[in-house]
Structures are given as structure tokens and as C-alpha cells.
Chain A
Amino acid sequence: MAADTQEASVDSGFGQISRTKDVAFRLLALAATLIGIVSLAALLLNVAVDAVGWLDWGFLTNPPHPNPNNAGFLPAIVGSIAIMIMIALVTFPLGVGAAIYLEEYASDGYLTRFIQLNIANLAGVPSVVYGLLGLGLFVGLFNIGYGSVLAAAFTVSLLILPIVIISAQEAIRSVPDSQRQASYGMGATKWQTIRNVVLPRAMPGIMTGTILALGRAIGETAPLIMIAAPTTVFGVPNSLLSKVSAMPLQIYNWASYPQTEFQYGVVAAGVVTLLVILLTINSVAIIIRNRYQQRT
């Protein structure tokens, strides 16, 4: 009797259920997020503080100089931007073309799966290996010059091409099949369907992937060293075949100077410039992408 009444009062069927694990997991996830954000913020703050007094108009418009007070970043900035533009021109059509082929044209056979698997693997190959390929292929075989703008752009393009292809494929795959069916049902050819229906819907996703890949490209150093890009050039590149340095290479070079003014001040100024340019390119690209998205 006593047991019966006790049970009835305790278990109404809607009692409080333990949330201990809920709360614990929530805190764990929050901690994981904060560790990432706080360390990034600390890094940015540290670099920004170090850059004060060094990052000025002269730094942005002068060529490098052995005296830290006169050191400038201009050739590396122009070099990086030139390389980026070339990379975008090379990877966008190649990457989107390959993605369209794999998603829309290729039949689902062994060859396609083999290509697919290898593209995924290529995305994980270390950049120094691409540098070696670039050295052998573009510098050695095609003879387009040690450390030239073109050699640098082609080499880094190979590096990010798999990333561009994979993200473009995902964007194309996310276009609902009902849209393709509607187009084919109207008597559209494959190309008409791809151009009018698939690509417009996939374009924001393709652009996001390309932007992220370009963000990775601008920070690459190892492949540039492999194709013998000079760490320091004193003149702005004036042709696609002139020798070029890039921002991360120049920063790496400064960091190895003996003077502390270089190791802290000038390097910090270079890092801040690199980040600002990267973020600017990304934001411009995102704005373009959003425009595109609204139009459709």
C-alpha cells in the first residue's frame, strides 16, 4: 500500500528529466568555439599592436630596403595580386568545366569514379609537392622562367584546382533535379539546360568555393619557393614573365633578418597588409556573389 502511493506521487509521467549531459555538452561546445576565436583574436591584436608605427603609406608604396625604416612592401603586394588574378582566370573556367563534365556529362562508370577519387586525393597533396611539379613542368619543360608570374600562378592554380572542382561539383549537385527535368521536358538540349538552369542556380555556391580556394592560394609560400620565386624583388613586376615575389614570401624573408625591427615591426606590418588584402578580396567576392543570388 505505502509503496503504491509513493510511486504514484513520484512518477506523474511528466517529471523533470536530467539535463546534466545537455548542459555539459553545451559548455564543452562553447569552450571549443571560444578557444578558436580567442586565440585568433589574440593573434590579430598582437600583430596589430606590433605593426603600429611601421604600417604607413611609405611601407605600402616603397620597394624593400635594408633599412627597416625605409622597408616597403609594394613589389610583393603587386606580385601577389597579379598572381591571384591569373589564378582566378585559370582555375575558374577549368574548375567549373571539370565539375560540369563530372556532374552532368560523365556517366557513372569506373573511369568517372577513378577520376573523382583522384581529385579528392589531389586536394590533400602537400603544397610543396605541387611546387616540385610546377618546377618540373612550367619552369623546366615549358621554360616560362624561374619564379615568373605565370609559373607561380600556374603552379598555385594546380594546387587549388581540386578544391575548386569539388566545391563546384557540390554546388551543381545541389541544384534540384526537378529543375533539370523541367528544362529537358521543354525540349532543351543538355547545354541549354546547363547554361540556363543549372549554372545560374549553382553559381553562388561555385563562387563561394572559388573564393575560399583563392584565400588559400594567397597565403601559399612553399610552392613559390620551389619554383624559385625570389623572396625579395625590388621592382614591381611589369610582365607575366618577370620575376615576382609574393607577400608571404617577403614576410618570410624579413622574419629571417637579424634586426629586431624587421622581425617584429616590419613583419607585423606585412602580416596586417596581407590579411587586409585577403579580407578585401573575400568581401568583394561575397558582395558580387550576393548580387548574383538576388538576381535569380
Chain B
Amino acid sequence: MTNRQMTSSETEQTDDQQPNPTPGTDSLADRGTDIGVETSSRDDPATVADRTIIESRDLDVYYGDDQALNGISMEIPEQQVTALIGPSGCGKSTFLRSINRMNDLIDIARVDGELFFREKNVYDDDVDPVALRRRIGMVFQSPNPFPKSIYDNVAYGLRVQGQDDNLDEKVHTALERAALLDEVEDQLDSSGLDLSGGQQQRLCIARAIAPDPEVILMDEPASALDPVATSKIEDLIEDLAEEYTVIIVTHNMQQAARISDKTAVFLTGGNLVEFDDTTKIFENPESDRVEDYITGKFG
């Protein structure tokens, strides 16, 4: 039974179950990546079911004078797959990028409101966005491996984060988790750019998970890939959700329905219209506009 299947049945029990942080597994503080957020270790899936890891409250994002997100409030559960769907320009990618403060890199972007990661507002002055990004990995729309060897690509995050002990082992583990090891085991020294598009994207996923982040953000990770490569990525995402919290932006509604536990529907103007269990959103949405969107009447 996967984590996703378990969560719904275990939801009722979680209230009286204590979270069970295990001291010693938190190596993040040792890496100098402490952002003032209490780090919980990875618990048994049952105990963390529906525990919120990321929560936004009235989050507005502006690009210059344009408002890209309008008062977004949502609670994203730990160790589940949350899909953000909606038409182009609805702000779903902006929301994703505001979680690990990638919007900071855009000069004209401005954020109002609060976004909590493990109950710490990541927009507080004492949060270093670099430290934040070391705990929240990211995979981008088109595969963007570095023009380095496969090994060096996966090792990149480990090296910049100073986790370069047992590098070989960590690189192998990450490639294995990204379901790529079998295909590239003999060519770790060849360039990451020599791989096919689907392999490159799995390489980028391996790169993102190698430093063992707590959350993985994915911005339409399969939109540049063919159906076979897409289905491999989807399988991989389901596996990853057993250990990580995955937040995925997608254009593809079937994809959201297949792989996610929760779905957030953004519609025009940067508004979050509905956020609920994926089955509820796709079978019986509250909002007519969401229903119209899901059934393809617009968007």
C-alpha cells in the first residue's frame, strides 16, 4: 500500500497521534542550513498524514504593477502530492516559485502576505533564501542539466551545500531513487546533455533529491516530454511522495487526477478558486467555474 492510499483511511486517527520526531536524523542544522525552522524528521507516513508543511496566508505577488497572485491562502499537507492546475497566466507557477523564494531573483517581483514552511514565515527577515532552497528542491519545466558529467550534475547540490562526504554513495542513491541508475550506471562520466529529454528530466530530479530536501517543487516537469517519458516521470512522482512532499504545477488535468492527492485550481487573475482532495475536485467540485474548467468548457 502506498502512502497516498493510506492517508485517506488514516486521516481520522491522526489527531490523537503524536508526531514522532527522531533526534539525530536532523543533519540540516549541521550543514549550516538552519533557517530557524524546526525540522521534523521523516516519520511513518501514517503519523504525518494531513500534517501541514506549507501554509500560505493572504499571499499576494506583484510583478511591477501587475498582480500575479491575489490573496492565496492554502495549507499543503506533508508527504503528499499536491497539484496546482489552471489555465496559462493564472499564477500557479508564481505560487510555486514563491514557496522557495525563487521570485526573489526577479527584480520587479514583490510579495505581500505570509508563507509558512513548518510554521516559520519564509519571508521573515531572518530567513536566508539560500538556506530555504536547500530544504526545498526544485525541478523545472524544461530539463536543464548542467553541461557537466552525469555524476557532477547529481553531485552539484551536494557540493554547493557542503555535503560532500560519501559523495559516490549519495549520487548512486539519488540516481536510483530517480529511476535512472540502471540506464546510466556505465556512463556516469559522460555529459548529462547526451541523455534523452526524459532521461535529462529524471537526471534533474536526481539532482534535486540528492541533497535530501523536505519538499520538491515541480514546475510542469513533463510538459516538454513525450508520453512514455511522461509516464515514467509520473510513476517516479508517486514513488517520491512516500518520502517527500511534492508540489507539482501542471497543465495536464489528467496528470493531476492521476498522481495527486490534493488539487488546487487557480483561475484567471491569480485567484485560488478551489482547493480540496483531488477526487473531490474532479468528481464533485464546489465551484461551477472549476467544473467548467475541469470539463474543458474553457481554459
A residues in contact (CB < 8 Å) with B: 107-108, 176, 178-189, 192, 196-197, 200-201, 296
Contact = CB atoms under 8 A, between A and B. Distances in A.
A184 B128 CA distance: 12
B293 interface: no
A184 B102 contact: yes
Contact of B140 (A185, A189, A192): A185
Contacts of B208: 185-186
B147 A189 contact: no
B15 to A, nearest CB: 34
A196 B160 contact: yes
Interface string B136-157: 0110101011111000000011
Q: Which one of A108, A178, A185, A188 has the highest number of Cβ atoms from chain B below 10 Å of its Cβ? A: A185
A139 to B, nearest CB: 43
Nearest to B159: A196
Contact of B211 (A186, A189, A197): A186
Contacts of A197: 146
Q: What secondary structure prevails in chain A residues at the interface with B? A: helix
B148 to A, nearest CB: 7
Top 4 closest A-B pairs, CB basis?
A187-B134, A185-B138, A186-B157, A187-B133
B130 A108 contact: no
Contacts of B148: 296
Contacts of B142: 178
Nearest to B213: A187
29 contacts: A107-B107, A178-B140, A178-B144, A180-B105, A181-B102, A182-B140, A182-B146, A183-B160, A184-B105, A185-B133, A185-B140, A186-B133, A186-B134, A186-B137, A186-B138, A186-B161, A186-B208, A186-B211, A187-B133, A187-B134, A187-B160, A187-B211, A188-B157, A188-B160, A189-B130, A189-B160, A192-B160, A196-B160, A197-B146
A30 to B, nearest CB: 38
B105 to A, nearest CB: 6
B140 A188 contact: no
B131 interface: yes
A16 to B, nearest CB: 42
Contact of B161 (A178, A187, A200): A187
A200 B149 CA distance: 14
Contacts of B147: 200-201, 296
Contact of A187 (B105, B107, B130): B130
Nearest to A181: B140
Q: Which one of A182, A192, A200 has the highest number of Cβ atoms from chain B below 10 Å of its Cβ? A: A182
A188 B144 contact: no
A188 B105 CA distance: 13
Nearest to A108: B107
A179 B133 contact: no
A282 B211 CA distance: 43
A64 B160 CA distance: 57
Nearest to B147: A296
B50 to A, nearest CB: 27
A185 B146 contact: no
A182 B160 contact: no
Contacts of B100: 185
B1 to A, nearest CB: 32
B48 interface: no
Interface string B107-131: 1000000000000000000000011
